[in-house]
Amino acid sequence: MSTAEFPELLREAQQGDERAFNALFRQNQPVVLKYLMTVAGREAAEDIAADTWVSVVRDLGRFEGDEPAAFRAWLLSIARRRWIDEVRRRTRRPETPVDVLPELTPAPDDVVSASDAAAGTRWALDLLATLPPDQAEILALRVIADLDVHTTAKLVGKTPGAVRVTAHRALRRLAGQLGGDQSDPAVTNPAAPTIDT
């Protein structure tokens, strides 16, 4: 979907068009899940994402904006609040885990490509999980969600400078873990996208 098509799609979704809402969901759910897997862990991510979308359905009519990035920032701010709510709930009423059923997903058309993509995503999320929580969250918002420094800062309640410093420290730590030059995270993967730290 292009930026030019987004305002019309959003307007239709706000007016109750199920097709338009489904398009917004399909485009944004992977980012929401990856962000939540980074900050909340795999076990809780899907439940928190579901709660996030319930809030989106309820509040979509109040969203004001006409750019996909603004919508994604709004959506991730809701996901972050649902995650914080979940952390508070768990602290008040701790749970004892039970045996977990295996994850069931429908078979994709191209099993090899889907498997490679899932392995790469899993590897990246596992790598992010080795970082301190604030660094992992900021990298998830900057890289996975593709939010700019100012939007990320507003979302996490930090200054843009603090976001840049935290992202830089996270990238240095990852570079060190991967055996690269800690002063230049791109050394470990020259093809990796760079972010404005």
The pLDDT value recorded for residue 59 is: 94
User: From residue 118, how far is each of 12, 49, 83, 137, 171 by CA, in Å?
Assistant: 32, 18, 23, 20, 22
Q: What is the separation, in whole angstroms, between the first and last Cα of the chain? A: 28
The pLDDT value recorded for residue 28 is: 94
Domain boundaries, the chain: 1-92, 114-191
Residue 15, phi-psi category: left (phi > 0), alpha (psi -120 to 50), beta (remainder): alpha
Q: Nearest Cα to 39, choosing from 83, 93, 92, 94?
A: 83
Tens-place pLDDT, residues 140-184 = 888 888 899 999 999 899 999 999 999 999 989 988 888 865 454
Tens-place pLDDT, residues 88-136 = 888 887 666 555 545 555 555 555 555 556 666 777 778 888 889 889 8
CATH 1.10.10.10, domain 114-191, yes or no: yes
Tens-place pLDDT, residues 34-55 = 999 998 888 899 999 999 999 9
State percent of the chain over pLDDT 90: 45
CATH placement of domain 1-92: 1.10.1740.10
